[in-house]
């Protein structure tokens, strides 16, 4: 029996598990501390009423033999795939049969690697959402980093001297909050098409883009359909972190090694997955109704308001940051040259506020810190007041 030895090469703990553990330890030692969590990118606002109603209606259908639903389609119900396709209208031309519904973007971003060989070179931004790195280490792929820093506005462009096979792009970026322009994304699309590479485009935060000139989908870029897979989620768009639903787009025109990647992914999903809960899919479809879009916008606006409160306080403190405008994330310089985990401990101990250490997202994140705009308004205001009282 041989275990997967690559597991020895990944860090013992997943970043957010570390943050949760440290926070729990602090809480145990300081039972009276009123801890405010602006760390893990978890939403706090309740689901939109039309989503809740749609899910309860689906529950009732499951209680009646005449409307009961067993196994659904491996790629999701047609009503939801069509609603997602319609969501792209006016921005990109995606058809319902290029869409796969899943239990969340994280599952798809990880599992999509099953269709690619271990013999590929992966290009990953640094800092980055840890899943891109850890999943590739588990498979034993060669990894090259492209650094995101203030000198490139946290938005690196292709390095033609590097031969990449799989390229991760997250825009709006987690953790930096930076958003690619169409021109910059077009450079990556050109590079990928010329180098037989695949872009895995993580669009999980696209709903936070308010600037109409910024692309919310990679398919807004000409040529993307022959080089890009896009993964999106209801988690941040509609507060589904605990409901679990996302989707992946694989254009029918996307082939590599003589195979349609759509067909490979369909084979992967039909073999290793049995679809998403009917109840959840009904809730997800409700997001795209007129009421649903209005209701989720109110929540996104609320989070944008939180981001403004945080960034204005950082402005007042003279702390530099990226993001916070077209993104729920604020990526700030730790004050006084503190390390990321040093600032984490300092903030937890002195303000009882939890953030995420930048170094957990990669070497280039050392000395940085991520705050999220997902909190409740009064808690965000309280956190900001506490931070303002600190002496840096």
Footprint of its own copies on 109-128 (CB under 8 A) = 110-111, 114-117, 119-120
* Residue 267 engages its own copies in binding (rule: CB under 8 A): yes
Which residues, numbered 183-212, are part of the site for its own copies (CB under 8 A)?
A: 196-198
Assess contact for 373 and 328: CB atoms under 8 A. Answer: yes
Q: Which is nearer to its own copies, 257 or 337 (CB)?
A: 257
CB of residue 162 vs its own copies: minimum separation in angstroms? Answer: 14
Region from 100-108, 180-188, 218-226, 284-292 binding its own copies, contact rule CB under 8 A: 100-108
> How many whole angstroms separate alpha carbon 323 and alpha carbon 335?
17
Sorted by sequence, the CB contacts under 8 Å of residue 361 that are 6+ apart come out as 15, 126, 127, 128, 129, 130, 175, 368, 370
> How many whole angstroms separate alpha carbon 35 and alpha carbon 383?
9
Sorted by sequence, the CB contacts under 8 Å of residue 215 that are 6+ apart come out as 91, 171, 180, 181, 182, 185, 221
Q: Which is nearer to its own copies, 70 or 318 (CB)?
A: 70
* Residue 270 engages its own copies in binding (rule: CB under 8 A): yes
CB of residue 353 vs its own copies: minimum separation in angstroms? Answer: 18
CB of residue 181 vs its own copies: minimum separation in angstroms? Answer: 26
* Residue 261 engages its own copies in binding (rule: CB under 8 A): yes
CA 343 to chain centre: 24
Region from 106-114, 211-219, 321-329, 354-362 binding its own copies, contact rule CB under 8 A: 106-114
Which residues, numbered 216-255, are part of the site for its own copies (CB under 8 A)?
A: 239, 241-244
The candidate with the shortest Cα–Cα distance to 390, out of 319, 312, 320, is 319
What length does the chain have? 392
Assess contact for 353 and 370: CB atoms under 8 A. Answer: no
Assess contact for 362 and 355: CB atoms under 8 A. Answer: no
Assess contact for 19 and 347: CB atoms under 8 A. Answer: no
> How many whole angstroms separate alpha carbon 218 and alpha carbon 230?
7
Which residues, numbered 272-331, are part of the site for its own copies (CB under 8 A)?
A: 272-280
Q: Which is nearer to its own copies, 181 or 195 (CB)?
A: 195
* Residue 103 engages its own copies in binding (rule: CB under 8 A): yes
CB of residue 266 vs its own copies: minimum separation in angstroms? Answer: 9
Q: Which residues pair with 99 in a beta bridge?
A: 249
Assess contact for 323 and 358: CB atoms under 8 A. Answer: no
Region from 70-78, 170-178, 201-209, 356-364 binding its own copies, contact rule CB under 8 A: 70-78
Q: Which is nearer to its own copies, 325 or 353 (CB)?
A: 353
Which residues, numbered 6-65, are part of the site for its own copies (CB under 8 A)?
A: 7-8, 10, 12-14, 17, 40, 42-47, 49, 52, 55-56, 59-60, 62-65
């Amino acid at each position: 029996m041989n275990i997967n030895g690559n597991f020895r090469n990944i860090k013992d703990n997943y970043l957010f598990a570390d943050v949760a553990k440290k926070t729990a330890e602090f809480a145990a030692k300081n039972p009276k501390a009123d801890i405010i969590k602006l760390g893990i990118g978890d939403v706090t606002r309740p689901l939109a009423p039309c989503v809740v109603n749609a899910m309860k209606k689906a529950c009732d259908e499951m209680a009646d033999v005449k409307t009961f639903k067993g196994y659904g389609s491996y790629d999701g119900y047609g009503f939801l795939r069509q609603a997602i396709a319609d969501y792209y209208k006016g921005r990109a031309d995606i058809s319902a049969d290029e869409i796969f519904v899943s239990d969340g973007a994280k599952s798809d971003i990880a599992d999509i690697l099953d269709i690619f060989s271990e013999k590929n070179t992966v290009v990953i931004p640094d800092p980055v959402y840890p899943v891109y790195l850890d999943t590739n280490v588990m498979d034993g792929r060669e990894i090259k980093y492209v650094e995101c820093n203030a000198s490139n506005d946290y938005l690196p462009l292709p390095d033609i001297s590097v031969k990449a096979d799989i390229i991760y792009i997250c825009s709006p970026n987690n953790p930096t909050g930076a958003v690619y322009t169409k021109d910059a994304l077009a450079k990556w699309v050109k590079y990928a098409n010329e180098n037989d590479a695949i872009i895995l485009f993580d669009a999980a935060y696209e709903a936070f883009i308010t600037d109409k000139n910024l692309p919310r989908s990679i398919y807004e870029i000409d040529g993307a359909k022959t080089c890009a897979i896009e993964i999106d989620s209801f988690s941040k768009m509609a507060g589904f972190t605990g409901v679990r639903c996302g989707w992946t787009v694989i254009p029918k025109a996307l082939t590599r090694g003589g195979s349609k990647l759509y067909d490979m992914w369909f084979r992967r999903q039909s073999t290793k997955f049995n679809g998403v809960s009917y109840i959840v899919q009904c809730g997800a479809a409700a997001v795209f109704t007129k009421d649903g879009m209005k209701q989720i916008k109110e929540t996104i606006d609320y989070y944008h308001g939180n981001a403004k409160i945080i960034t204005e306080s950082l402005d007042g403190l003279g702390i530099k940051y990226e993001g916070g405008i077209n993104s729920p994330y604020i990526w700030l310089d730790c004050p006084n040259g503190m390390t990321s985990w040093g600032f984490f401990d300092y903030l937890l101990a002195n303000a009882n506020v939890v953030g995420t250490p930048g170094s957990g997202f990669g070497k280039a994140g050392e000395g940085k810190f991520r705050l999220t705009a997902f909190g409740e308004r009064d808690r965000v205001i309280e956190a900001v007041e506490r931070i303002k009282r600190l002496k840096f």
